[in-house]
């Protein structure tokens, strides 16, 4: 994700200095670099629930970044051929994170059910 963040920073530097360009630049530099930092934080999470919460932040930031990349293309601030590969990568990263969230939710739920089963069998 770090290389994605670097590419976002380079993209921001290429945006026009118009009010619209600079407004989007400020938004996308935040949302496009945040997933890298938040994923790194997820990797050292204190628990499965903490990991899941941090992945949800990554998901939200990637989704917002996809939005801003689409706006840049629609407003023709840069050539779509320059933005499209970055947009595709963003969508792919988002898909990976969503699948990871689904997997982790299943794991957390299975662990909770196993604990409940243990508690119930100990009460008997």
* Residues in the chain where the model's pLDDT stays below 50: none
Q: Are 69 and 31 in contact (CB under 8 A)?
A: no
Burial (CB < 10 A; 0-12, 13-18, 19+), residue 44, is: exposed
pLDDT of residue 109: 86
Domain ranges of the chain: 2-123
The CA distance from 101 to 56, in Å, is: 7
Query: pTM for this structure?
Result: 0.88
The fold of 2-123 is de novo design (two linked rop proteins) (1.20.1440)
Contact 1, 39 (CB under 8 A): yes
Whole-angstrom distance, CA of residue 82 vs CA of residue 79 = 5
- The pLDDT value recorded for residue 124 is 57
pLDDT of res. 112: 80
Distance CA 80, CA 72 (A): 8
Contacts of 86 (CB under 8 A, 6+ apart): 4, 7, 8, 11, 69
Q: Tokens for 26?
A: 């400020």
CA-CA distance, 103 to 25, in Å (whole number)?
33
């Amino acid at each position: 994700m770090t290389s994605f963040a670097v590419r976002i920073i380079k993209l921001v530097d290429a945006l026009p200095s118009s009010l619209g360009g600079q407004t989007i630049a400020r938004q996308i530099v935040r949302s496009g670099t945040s997933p890298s930092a938040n994923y790194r934080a997820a990797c050292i999470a204190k628990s499965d629930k903490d990991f899941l919460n941090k992945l949800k932040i990554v998901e939200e930031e990637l989704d917002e970044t996809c939005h801003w990349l689409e706006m840049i293309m629609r407003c023709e601030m840069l050539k779509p051929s320059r933005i499209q590969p970055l947009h595709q990568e963003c969508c792919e990263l988002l898909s990976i994170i969503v699948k990871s969230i689904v997997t982790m939710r299943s794991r957390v739920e299975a662990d909770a059910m196993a604990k409940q089963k243990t508690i119930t069998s100990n009460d008997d």
